[in-house]
Amino acid sequence: MLFAFLQLNACNSKSPSIEITGKDGANAEPEEIYNEVSGGGTKTDTAKPSVPKGDPTEASDGDESASVPTIVTGSPIQENRKSNGDQVLANGRYFIKGAYSKKCIALQNDSRESGAQFVQRTCDRNNGSMKFDVYVTSNGYFLIYNFGTSKFMEIRDQMPVMQAALQQNDRAFKPYQDFIIQERSDGFLNIKTSSGGMFVDLAGASTADGALIQLWNVGTGMSAAWQFEPAP
């Protein structure tokens, strides 16, 4: 009879329950488990993998932390910038170096004035006027913005003709400030006017400091070949 009483009492007792609580003592849902295969084994992690901020492949409309980094830091103009999967140059800050002369595009006499012309000079990584924010806008063309002077590269006198100089000016939202950047067969880049008929070139194929940057109607020569080196 004692054995029957103990058996009946065991059946009436409740099983212990497990309660998950958060840091503040409130009930909490268990985190999902994400498995990551690495090498030959499986790694189990209780933390949900975070989306890298600014990763365009993971961006979504509802996730502010996954915004596409198409706006170049330091530029005051925030105008419908976009990144095109077909563009040969990523939006970013660069030194623009002549493939032939190995010198960088700079401003004549380091001028900050509108109308100052672009020349080539020995590259100086500490010179802000040799740094350019280069990015595509909604019209599909590149803008070339001088980081040191806060002005934009444009065609002098607004005319894309042979030997026209390149100068800086405030944003005009006109075609003479729009450029096409395309890859050459040798891996260097051409910078073309938005009309596509003229190329940014070194006057006289010069290697001297102070040589003018101008337009030319042929883009196959090395004086029209450019390298875009990332700038801090």
Instruction: Give the mean pLDDT of 55-81.
Output: 37
Upper half-sphere CA count for residue 49 (Cβ side, 13 Å): 8
Percent of the chain with pLDDT over 90: 60
Overall average pLDDT of the 139-160 stretch: 97
Mean per-residue pLDDT of the chain: 76
Q: Tens digit of pLDDT for each residue in 39-50?
A: 334 333 333 333
Q: Map out the domains of the chain with their CATH numbers.
A: 33-69 (no CATH), 79-230 (2.80.10.50)
Higher pLDDT, 54 or 170: 170
Which of 162, 135, 160 lies closest to 72, judged by CA? 135
- Alpha carbon separation from 171 to 55, 79, 144, 152, 155 (Å, rounded): 29, 11, 10, 6, 12
Between 80 and 55, name the one with better pLDDT. 80
What are the beta bridge partners of residue 42?
A: 37
For residue 33, pLDDT beyond 90: no
Q: What is the pLDDT of residue 165?
A: 98
Q: What is the pLDDT of residues 69-125, one digit of tens each?
A: 333 333 334 445 555 556 899 999 999 999 999 999 999 999 999 999 999 999 999
pLDDT value of position 82 = 53
Residue 82: Cβ-neighbour burial (10 angstroms; 0-12, 13-18, 19+):
middle
